Homo-oligomer: A and B are copies of this chain.
């Protein structure tokens, strides 16, 4: 009997009908039954009469399955239509899918800590194979445990090359909604200033290009095996190939296809859109239908989100598992984590807070220092941030879209931040009360909210594990108002120089000398003796 590990993929390959449009005309599914779960999952067409059904078991033990649907010849493949396999314990690097814990925090399904340090390479999977390999190599040596990227190719500044493959087969515009096409051509709904001549709408949108999706299989699997969550963007506005001009039936079929094909990868997150509000071919009713589809039909209940350019989507919608945010205030970004966490009672993932780089456009030209500052401001409030890099290059390869090599200064500092967070009891910080020039993160396991009174600098310290982050402030020292009867180990953390300096054990009022430059933090941990 075949054995796979928990949260890995069991795949069934079956021959079905190749005639007509196999993507639209037939259905194949299987029911998987183990001791602790029973799930029916849809299969997908993979070309040449081949259908695949993929299943991710959430528990150990023996599973039985039974497939049904429109087959080419049920008799010749009878032994394949039902069977059994064994699920062994997960290996040490496999913690299962990421789940929402305690309303506002993320965690792996096996209970181990997951703190997302994301990056963004929108179009990396559509670059040359060698560049894709380089991107994977870079990721391997980075702190990133989530990457955000698109299924559809991207047309935009520095993104004018054709993709390696197209998501749909060549055709004659089958499945296009001609009213949306007209709207897109007339109102510049995609890349500003795009000319009509630049549209390439000669695809059959009812037929996914299996070569395209097969490439994504490999990349998602590789990311999974590296421990990187794949935050897959299903739609985005920077389109000239008609991918956001499909009619409802074709679009729904695309989502069903993606769900069937990739749902069994434990590292998949569904990001319905990048900048949903710039996709003016879609209405709220569309987004609601898409979101509800995944909520109802994804057997594994992967994380679901929708990312904005201007105003946020209504993140209180029940199908949204976490807030995937682009900052809406230019000056105050991750400082607002608590505000939205309180409003939506969901995990806050700042997927776009301006990228480290020197691009001419305002979302891609901050310093490494500022990006790292935003990460700390987010992390101490219990939120997550996404990295991106936009340094102009002679070869026009920018990490933000193409992947490749990293050039900035922030990445080692993000690893340092992750290392600091891994030491926190419970693996997370939550925002505590501090004085006004510091952001205070308290171990999520703490019962207190930090200082008793946020207003007074003299309010006593109350909790047992705190990090005070000082951002751009540069005090010569900091007075800590520690309880007389308790002892605290104090460390000075230089978040930019990546050093931790032991400042000794203190009680009562402790005057901690500071180095008088920005980006410092003070860690205060209660010790028993």
Q: Which listed residue (B329, B332, B436) contacts A362, Cβ 8 A?
A: B436
Chain B: CB-nearest residue to A439: B330
Cβ < 8 Å to B, chain A residues 464-522? 472-479, 516, 518
Number of copies of this chain in the oligomer?
2
Using known A-B contacts A367-B474, A473-B365, determine if residue A458 contacts B192 with beta carbons closer than 8 Å: yes
Q: Which listed residue (B335, B367, B475) contacts A331, Cβ 8 A?
A: B335
- A269 vs B256: C-alpha distance when bound (angstroms): 70
- A458 vs B458: C-alpha distance when bound (angstroms): 51
Using known A-B contacts A476-B358, A476-B392, determine if residue A456 contacts B330 with beta carbons closer than 8 Å: no
Contacts of A330 in B (CB 8 A): 335, 436-437
- A516 vs B358: C-alpha distance when bound (angstroms): 6
Contacts of A258 in B (CB 8 A): none
Q: Is A318 in the interface zone, CB < 8 Å from B?
A: no
Contacts of A409 in B (CB 8 A): none
Q: Is A198 in the interface zone, CB < 8 Å from B?
A: no
Contact B360 A472 (CB under 8 A): no
Q: Is A435 in the interface zone, CB < 8 Å from B?
A: yes
Chain B: CB-nearest residue to A477: B360
Q: Is A174 in the interface zone, CB < 8 Å from B?
A: no
Per DSSP, chain A at the interface is: loop
Contacts of A363 in B (CB 8 A): 437
Contacts of A478 in B (CB 8 A): 360
Contact A362 B437 (CB under 8 A): yes
Shortest beta-carbon distance, A146 to chain B, in Å? 26
Contacts of A476 in B (CB 8 A): 358-360, 365, 392
Q: Is A109 in the interface zone, CB < 8 Å from B?
A: no
Q: Is A457 in the interface zone, CB < 8 Å from B?
A: yes
- A329 vs B331: C-alpha distance when bound (angstroms): 11
- A513 vs B239: C-alpha distance when bound (angstroms): 29
Contact A475 B436 (CB under 8 A): no
Chain B: CB-nearest residue to A516: B358
Q: What 1/0 mask marks residues of chain A from 191 to 223 whose CB sits below 8 Å from any chain B CB?
A: 011000000000000000000000000000000
Interface size class of A (residues with CB under 8 A): 35 or more
Q: Is A1 in the interface zone, CB < 8 Å from B?
A: no
Contact B332 A473 (CB under 8 A): no
Q: Is A370 in the interface zone, CB < 8 Å from B?
A: yes
Q: What 1/0 mask marks residues of chain A from 412 to 446 whose CB sits below 8 Å from any chain B CB?
A: 00000000000000000000000111100000000
- A335 vs B474: C-alpha distance when bound (angstroms): 21
Contact A479 B360 (CB under 8 A): yes
Q: Is A4 in the interface zone, CB < 8 Å from B?
A: no
- A476 vs B329: C-alpha distance when bound (angstroms): 23
- A392 vs B331: C-alpha distance when bound (angstroms): 29
Shortest beta-carbon distance, A23 to chain B, in Å? 38
Contact B435 A362 (CB under 8 A): yes
- A256 vs B332: C-alpha distance when bound (angstroms): 45
Contacts of A437 in B (CB 8 A): 330, 361-363, 365
Contacts of A458 in B (CB 8 A): 192-193
Cβ < 8 Å to B, chain A residues 262-280? none
Q: Which listed residue (B329, B370, B392) contacts A472, Cβ 8 A?
A: B370
Q: Is A12 in the interface zone, CB < 8 Å from B?
A: no
Q: Is A366 in the interface zone, CB < 8 Å from B?
A: yes
Contacts of A331 in B (CB 8 A): 331-332, 335
- A441 vs B32: C-alpha distance when bound (angstroms): 65
Contact B367 A475 (CB under 8 A): no
Contacts of A370 in B (CB 8 A): 472
- A363 vs B476: C-alpha distance when bound (angstroms): 13
A interface residues (Cβ-Cβ under 8 A, vs B): 192-193, 329-332, 335, 358-363, 365-367, 370, 392, 435-438, 456-458, 472-479, 516, 518
